[in-house]
Amino acid sequence: MYILKNEFIWITIILVGLFFSSSTPYSDQSIVSPLERFDWGWAEPALESVDFDYAGSPVSLEAKGTVGLIEFLIRKAAHFTIFFILGALFVKAVSRVRLHAGLILLFAWTLANTVAVYDEFHQSLTPERTPLIQDVVLDSVGALCGVLLVGGIYLVKRKGKRRSRAGYIATR
Is residue 58 a part of any domain in this protein?
A: no
Q: What are the tens digits of pLDDT across the range 103-118?
A: 999 999 999 999 999 9
Is residue 151 a part of any domain in this protein?
A: yes
Is residue 71 a part of any domain in this protein?
A: no
How many structural domains compose the chain? 1
Q: What are the tens digits of pLDDT across the range 67-120?
A: 999 999 999 999 999 999 999 999 989 988 888 888 999 999 999 999 999 999
Is residue 114 a part of any domain in this protein?
A: yes
172, pLDDT greater than 60: no
Is residue 69 a part of any domain in this protein?
A: no
Query: Domain range holding 101?
Result: 2-29+78-164
Is residue 15 a part of any domain in this protein?
A: yes
- pTM flag (> 0.95): no
Over residues 3-19, the mean pLDDT reads 89
Do 108 and 127 touch, CB atoms closer than 8 A?
Answer: no
Q: Cα-flanking dihedrals φ and ψ of residue 52, to 5°?
A: -155, 170
- Which residues touch 79 (CB under 8 Å, ≥6 apart)? 135, 138, 139, 142
Do 50 and 61 touch, CB atoms closer than 8 A?
Answer: yes
Q: What is the pLDDT of residue 167?
A: 46
Q: In b/e form, how buried is each residue of 131-145, taking b as 16+ CB within 10 angstroms?
A: bbeebbebbbebbbb
Q: What is the pLDDT of residue 66?
A: 94
